[in-house]
Amino acid sequence: MKKKTKEKLLSEFGNPKSEYFDFEHIAAYFRKKDPSTAFHTLSDKTCNDLDLHELFMFIDRTNSKVGQQYLYNQLRNIPADSSANTRRERLLDEFTNNADFRIAVQGQLSKLSDSGVYYVASLFQDELLQPPRWYFMVKILSFASVLSFILAFFNPLYFLVLLGLSVINIVIHFWNKKNLYSYYSSIPQLSKLNGVAQELVKHNILKEINPHLLKSAGVINKVNHRMSFFNLEAELQSDQRILFWAMLELVKIVFLVEPLFLFGVVKHIDTKRSEIEDVFVFVGEIDAIQSLASLRQGLRQFCTPQLIDRQKRLVAQEVYHPLIDNCVENNLTVADKSILLTGSNMSGKTSFIRTIAINVITGLTLNTCFAAHFSMPRVRIYSAIRISDDLMNDRSYYFEEVVTIKEMIDKSKSGTMNLFLLDEIFKGTNTVERISAGKAVLSSLNQADNIVFVSTHDIELADLLKKEYDLYHFSELVDHKTVDFDYKLKEGKLKNRNAIRILQLNNYPESIIKEAIEISEELDKKNMTKI
């Protein structure tokens, strides 16, 4: 390995990437993978609510596109058990403490950094190209062209026959180009992936991931001589060897080489899907583990989670959000009740809910939490945080929220443990109905072993739920000139109301401030006891 490459890998360890993230291709493996073996798959809505793409960009330190796709799928699927964690932690320690080993592995993985590698998964996930019904004519025309070419040396009239055949062959050749282009990326990269896997499996500690890897790699090796045609094509195009390319193209047209090779290779690959997936997963898991080692190296604090067996309990000590610079750490214990947060806008309520959710996700999927200590049960996660109008289907904000929360109610009765995340429940409707419906829904979601985290501005809702929910709040510090937030979680419901004071600090007209105070005092007297 070149000295500059080694120095680059050493300097990058522990640091986030600074590159473009093509999530359409990164998520392709996840979208097509069967999730039935997972305990829970995070929905697109939950990922949007929790800014999971931004989290992935921070977590991802992979060196290959295979590893990147594997890591994304790992983050989106909560496994049914944690049996693989012990082996992965051993390998994590090796990557962290043995720089020479890590760099040797990263050097191999870096061979798979081309964007074309994204398409390898399609070879075992997608329906592959099937020959048309008239494909037998390709074989006949190719054989006739070869025979005419040989006979032409004995009788020049056969050159005319070859010329006539070539007119037909050129049509088939260019018809086949669109098929060929769809495999220009995936097939050459499969050959490269297989080579990298065979180098990595030479390390005994990596071989433990899949002791039978060499068997799968050997099966793919049997197709390598067929795939070499695609490697040659890619090399010729990249090196711009025009003259040789033109001569080769002429030969391919006359004898229909491309369709014969393409359908032959695809047919063989179609019978080796499980072996290709074995190699893909092997390399992907190795890259994901070294990526996690790099992530942990750069964190100010992390822990491996303690899993609790089916208890309505969650403990977080010095927990923080990894995407918030200088994030304030907080402590929280959930014991038999759920959590209701009050506080003004920008005080930290929603960020704290996301903090807990992200730590649950990374704890269950990556065995890593951004905290000094984090314990929790294995839960399924559902959210209603970032809801918007569905204008395409003529559905209002409130209707979207109703549909989302109805799905939560259905899930709450599934018999499994769930974590429900809600921000400002039913804020799309009037105060009386918001508080009434909110109380009923939150009481329902809190039943059985479900854990609910909800934020609200409605102090009345906190009063109605205080027997079922532990109350916490975030508050701001307001003086005669400024508003400051300390982002510290505090027990109890919010008692101070500073919204009107903040208007005053921002130079609202005195008449507005006066009227707002008068109305506020009048409403306080009524205390909304009629709800």
299-325 tens-digit pLDDT: 999 999 999 988 899 999 999 999 999
Helix (H, G, I), strand (E, B) or coil at 490: strand
Per-residue pLDDT, averaged over 243-260, amounts to 79
Q: Give pLDDT, residue 326.
A: 92
Give the 3-state secondary structure of residue 479.
coil
Which CATH code for domain 306-496? Answer: 3.40.50.300
Contacts of 433 (CB under 8 A, 6+ apart): 426
Q: Give pLDDT tens digits for 406-452.
A: 999 999 998 899 999 999 888 877 888 889 999 999 999 999 899 99
Residues near 384 by Cβ (< 8 Å), separated by ≥ 6?
Answer: 49, 401, 404, 405, 408, 420, 421, 422, 423, 425
Burial class (CB in 10 A: 0-12, 13-18, 19+), 300: exposed
Residue 160 pLDDT more than 70? yes
Measure the CA–CA gap between 420 and 46, rounded to whole angstroms.
10
- Which of 32-46, 215-229, 455-469 has maximum average pLDDT? 32-46
Query: Residue 343's pLDDT band (boundaries 50, 70, 90)?
Result: confident
Domain with CATH 1.10.1420.10 in the chain: 3-129+182-223+272-298
Alpha carbons 517 and 47: distance in angstroms, whole number: 40
Helix (H, G, I), strand (E, B) or coil at 199: helix
Phi, psi of 371, deg, nearest 5: -170, 170
Band (259; pLDDT cuts 50, 70, 90): confident
Mean pLDDT of the chain: 88
- Chain centre distance of CA 147: 54
CA dihedral 516, 518, 521, 526 (to 10 degrees): -100
Give me the percent of the chain exceeding a pLDDT of 70. Answer: 91
The confidence score (pLDDT) of residue 243 equals 66
**Could you tell me which residue, 174 or 517, shows the higher pLDDT?**
174
**For position 233, what pLDDT does the model report?**
56
198-221 mean pLDDT: 94
How confident is the model over 99-117, as a mean pLDDT?
95
Q: Report, in this order, helix, strand and coil percent for the chain, each rounded to 5.
A: 55, 10, 30
pTM for this predicted structure: 0.89
Average pLDDT of span 74-78: 98
Residue 200 has pLDDT above 80, yes or no: yes
The half-sphere exposure of 490 on its side-chain side, counting CA atoms within 13 A, is 17
CA distances from 350 to 49, 110, 114, 273, 345 (A): 10, 38, 38, 44, 9
Question: 530 pLDDT exceeds 50?
Answer: no
Q: Which amino acid is at 348?
A: G
Q: What is the mean pLDDT of residues 497-516?
A: 77
The 3-class secondary structure across 457-499, one letter per residue, is: CCHHHHHHHCCCEEEEECCEEECCCCEEECCCCEECCCCCCCH
Residue 14 has pLDDT above 60, yes or no: yes
> Which of 239 and 2 is assigned the larger pLDDT?
2
Identify the pLDDT of residue 531: 43
CB 291 within 8 A of CB 60: yes
Nearest CA to 194 out of 283, 323, 302 is that of 283
Tell which residue, 323, 272, 311, 224, has the closest CA to residue 16: 323
Q: Report DSSP state, residue 391.
A: G
Amino acid 39 reads: F
41: amino acid identity, one letter: T
Q: Band of the pLDDT at 109, cuts 50, 70, 90? A: very high
Backbone angles phi, psi at 307, to 5 degrees: -90, 135
Query: What tokens appear for 514 in the block?
Result: 């006066």
Query: What's the pLDDT score for residue 526?
Result: 64
pLDDT of 460 > 90? The answer is: no
Tell me where in the chain the CATH 3.40.50.300 domain(s) lie.
Answer: 306-496
**Which CATH number fits the domain 3-129+182-223+272-298, given the four candidates 1.10.1420.10, 3.40.720.10, 1.20.1250.20, 3.10.20.600?**
1.10.1420.10
Those residues whose C-beta lies under 8 Å from the C-beta of residue 211, and which sit 6 or more positions away, are none
Confidence of residue 529 (pLDDT cuts 50, 70, 90): very low
Highest mean pLDDT pick, 75-84, 345-354, 391-400, 499-508: 75-84
Diameter of the chain by CA atoms?
A: 112
Of 37-46, 145-154, 237-246, 459-468, the range with the highest mean pLDDT is: 37-46
pLDDT of 475 > 50? The answer is yes
- The answer on pLDDT for 16 being more than 50 is yes
Give the C-alpha distances (Å, rounded to integers) separating 399 from 49, 382, 427. 18, 18, 11
| Band (483; pLDDT cuts 50, 70, 90) | confident
Percentage of residues of the chain with pLDDT beyond 90: 58
